Structure 1
Amino acid sequence: MAFDMTVRGAPQSYVFRPGCWEELGPRLAELGIGRALVVHGGDSWRAAAPRFPEAGRAEFRFERYGGECTSEERDRLARIAFEERSEAIIGVGGGKLSDLAKAVAGRLKLPVVLLPTLAATCSAWTPLSIMYDRNGAMVAYEIHPRANALVLLDPLVLLNSPPELLAAGIGDTLAKWYEADVILSRIPNPSVELTVASFAARTCRDNLLRDGEAALAALAAGEFDDAFARVVETVVLAAGMVGGFGDRYARTAGAHSVHDGLTILPEAHAVRHGSKVAYGILVQLALEERWAEIDSLLPFYGRVGLPASLREMGLGSVSDERLRAVADRTVEGDASIHLLPGDITAERVLDAMRRLEAVTSFEAEPTRASTFRPSESQTAASEKKPARITGEGDFRGDFI
């Protein structure tokens, strides 16, 4: 059976090994890139700059971005890149920055090179950008026709990232299974591409539930071990493959729509993308009446520091009127939540959120925190030891 879809499975080149940032210069030379605009953030750049390599023969123009992936910021950086006669856009930072770098490159039809500083989303893998307005509300998805030219994922850089960001990445990636499965399980004869997407989504769930807590402990200790490596590549690679091979049949469903709805609340902007998505998983499961699955996830959420309620995101005092606005935004237009079975209305979303709040408020699991905060092992990361490589794995992945 033929499906109306386009496969965007992977970047053109992907490297995951300690110290791979040092390969930037030679790899730019291989791509014939002599001039590039380097887009970076603030805090992430201060942590990453000491490891950013020399340009080699390339010429770099460095530009700090404004903090949001907006059309205005995209156009501002595109003008700079055009005036500098840049031959590529290099993004150094997290998910929003990677999305912005891809959007700038897409506007100018230039290759994009991504050097992630954290593993909080699959943005480095996927050729799409989530666009926001100046107030931080999600407004659109931009899908780019060209794959990312090069991704250098250096675990020694990632070991300097805050544990709460990896926890958010775990939440964002866990959604891949629940959002893909609710769609793909209803397709009687899936294509090979969709079978690959389903396998990748299941891999996301299995790896995270098995290794997520251990990966956070490794990050807190500054150790690059097997669990940390698996979780990082699950968040970036496996998660990216779900939408890359599944396209609109596996990219998002209810959890990300709930995230999008929450972005209209200014106080939700301090909550990480993946944390809002993790909460959205539970709302989606409530809409599906899968309360046993919710019960099975709550202890894991508590152990890795993911929020299971509005209260745990600091949104417990949001008025009913504003929650109704969140529900309206969640189901607006052709939002992906409508890929769930049945007629999904704002009333049903609001009811699911209220029932979930009641359940999690009553939840007596001792591992659940009363507020959304990192565990003791995660907060220990502020006193992390120098990075160490441990374990049996061969961490020299180079996928081209």
Structure 2
Amino acid sequence: MISQSGPQRYISDVTAYQQLPQYITELGVKRLVFLHGTKSLAAAQPYLADFPVDVTVTDVLFNGECSYEEINRVKQIVTAQQAQMIIGLGGGKVLDTAKSVATGTPLKLVLIPTLASNFAPWSALSVHYQANGEHIDHKIYKETADLMLLNPEVILRSPINYFVAGIADTLAKYYESELIFEQLPEEKYTTALEISRLMANKCRDVLLQYSSQAIADMKAVSLTHIWRKVAETIIVTAGTVGGWGDSYARSTGAHAVHDALTLFPETATLLHGEKVGYGILVQLAIEQHFDEIDSLLPFYREIGVPTNLHELNLDGITAADIDKIAAASADEETTMHLIPLPIDTKTVKQAMLVLEEITSATAKK
């Protein structure tokens, strides 16, 4: 087991961006690549300090997907410019691209999240997609970011649906790891695994208790302690779960379902965390934790996380399509098989159908 706890340096403050120029100067960096999206740069621009005057900055607009084509494009720019640092500013796909470019190189890596939609800023992994949004794979790297800067004022003003998706994605940290931890022999528990499990429980407890108020605070553009607690749970606490727990606490069933759903263009408008949220329910149905499903459904409906195929834009789905999702989720190469249960296509399909019955019945109450 290999633990990578997080960035080498982490600053969370409304003045966090002001630390960047001095950091660049202290490292002696003279050439850097600045990778960002259009919207993310517009959101962060009022808070960004000027780069040092003696530093050559190559501005690169992100193309929208963390694909191998995009990674290679940015790598070519980095090489041509002889860059010493790459800065990724934006959502998870921008940051994952920057990580993929930097890994295995001497490049210094700076990550600046503008959304609280996942734990990408904290992690040492990247998720890769086709240009059309279909999931390909994920890679775990030997490096974490050298610096991560979080300005809560920027994230507070980001789209709320990304925040809600981040809540669902972070809940998965508990639900994807708990059965593994439950069945782990006591003698296998290292300090790292103990920290990982504690943080997974912390994710669940904070989000179930405070998410509704945090969403209300975000709608009011009010930088409260509760909102910040939830935002940093999504980015930081979630990152420590897999960071400390390695394969015992990374993606399992919920993310395997997410990956299968990306095969359907109808789900392309849904965010990563929304599909993972649905995947949590499928995983709980596989585990036959039906009481847990019943307890989560009111929370899902309150904050707006999909609970069934209709809410995934899959109204016209056929039996063959359900088979396709189930087969892709249960493929022997997926993280589904990290769950300590026998699982095949039939198991996943049955879980999906049972979930349809449960959500239909509870919606009528």
TM over 0.5: same fold?
yes
Answer whether contact 1:78 1:108 (CA < 8 A) is retained.
Answer: no
- Return 5+ residue gaps in structure 2 as ranges: none
- The equivalent of 1:284 in structure 2 is 283
In 1, Cα distance between equivalents of 2:105 and 2:267: 32
- The equivalent of 1:13 in structure 2 is 9
Which amino acid in structure 2 is aligned with residue 24 of structure 1? L
Answer whether contact 1:78 1:107 (CA < 8 A) is retained.
Answer: no
Is 1:136 aligned to 2:133, yes or no?
yes
Question: Which residue, out of 45, 48, 53, partners 2:49?
Answer: 53
In 1, Cα distance between equivalents of 2:48 and 2:356: 44
Deviation readout 1:38-91 (Å, 9 max, x if unpaired): 111132233223333211243211111111101111010000011111111100
- The equivalent of 1:156 in structure 2 is 153
User: 3-state SS of the aligned residue for 2:66?
Assistant: coil
- The equivalent of 2:358 in structure 1 is 359
- The equivalent of 2:33 in structure 1 is 37
User: 3-state SS of the aligned residue for 2:103?
Assistant: helix
User: 3-state SS of the aligned residue for 2:328?
Assistant: helix
- The equivalent of 2:175 in structure 1 is 178
Which amino acid in structure 1 is aligned with residue 140 of structure 2? I
Q: How many residues align?
A: 362
Which amino acid in structure 2 is aligned with residue 343 of structure 1? P
Answer whether contact 2:172 2:277 (CA < 8 A) is retained.
Answer: yes
More relative contact order, 1 or 2 (CA 8 Å, 6+ apart): 1
Matching of residues 36-115 of structure 1 within 5 Å: 36-57=32-53, 58-106=55-103, 108-115=105-112
- The equivalent of 1:398 in structure 2 is none
In 1, Cα distance between equivalents of 2:206 and 2:341: 30
In 1, Cα distance between equivalents of 2:351 and 2:139: 30
User: 3-state SS of the aligned residue for 2:17?
Assistant: helix
- The equivalent of 2:264 in structure 1 is 265
In 2, Cα distance between equivalents of 1:241 and 1:258: 23
User: 3-state SS of the aligned residue for 1:270?
Assistant: coil
Which amino acid in structure 1 is aligned with residue 262 of structure 2? T
- The equivalent of 2:192 in structure 1 is 193
Cα distance change, pair 212–346 in 1 and its aligned pair in 2 (3 A): same
How big is the shift at 1:107?
5.3
In 2, Cα distance between equivalents of 1:145 and 1:259: 25
- The equivalent of 2:306 in structure 1 is 307
Answer whether contact 1:324 1:346 (CA < 8 A) is retained.
Answer: yes
- The equivalent of 2:22 in structure 1 is 26
In 1, Cα distance between equivalents of 2:363 and 2:243: 39
User: 3-state SS of the aligned residue for 1:223?
Assistant: coil
Deviation readout 1:17-38 (Å, 9 max, x if unpaired): 1121122111222333222101
User: 3-state SS of the aligned residue for 2:317?
Assistant: coil
Which amino acid in structure 2 is aligned with residue 38 of structure 1? F
Q: TM-score, normalised by structure 2?
A: 0.96
- The equivalent of 2:165 in structure 1 is 168
Cα distance change, pair 202–237 in 1 and its aligned pair in 2 (3 A): same
In 1, Cα distance between equivalents of 2:101 and 2:5: 21
- Return 5+ residue gaps in structure 1 as ranges: 367-400
Which amino acid in structure 2 is aligned with residue 47 of structure 1? A
How big is the shift at 1:365?
7.0
Deviation readout 1:368-398 (Å, 9 max, x if unpaired): xxxxxxxxxxxxxxxxxxxxxxxxxxxxxxx
In 1, Cα distance between equivalents of 2:202 and 2:28: 36
- Runs of 4+ in structure 1 deviating by more than 3 angstroms, as ranges, are none
Which amino acid in structure 2 is aligned with residue 186 of structure 1? Q
Note the aligned Cα RMSD (angstroms): 1.3
User: 3-state SS of the aligned residue for 1:261?
Assistant: helix
In 2, Cα distance between equivalents of 1:75 and 1:287: 39
- The equivalent of 1:206 in structure 2 is 205
How big is the shift at 1:357?
1.3
Cα distance change, pair 257–47 in 1 and its aligned pair in 2 (3 A): same
Which amino acid in structure 1 is aligned with residue 247 of structure 2? R
Q: TM-score, normalised by structure 1?
A: 0.88
How big is the shift at 1:316?
2.3
Deviation readout 1:253-289 (Å, 9 max, x if unpaired): 1111111111111121211000000100000000011
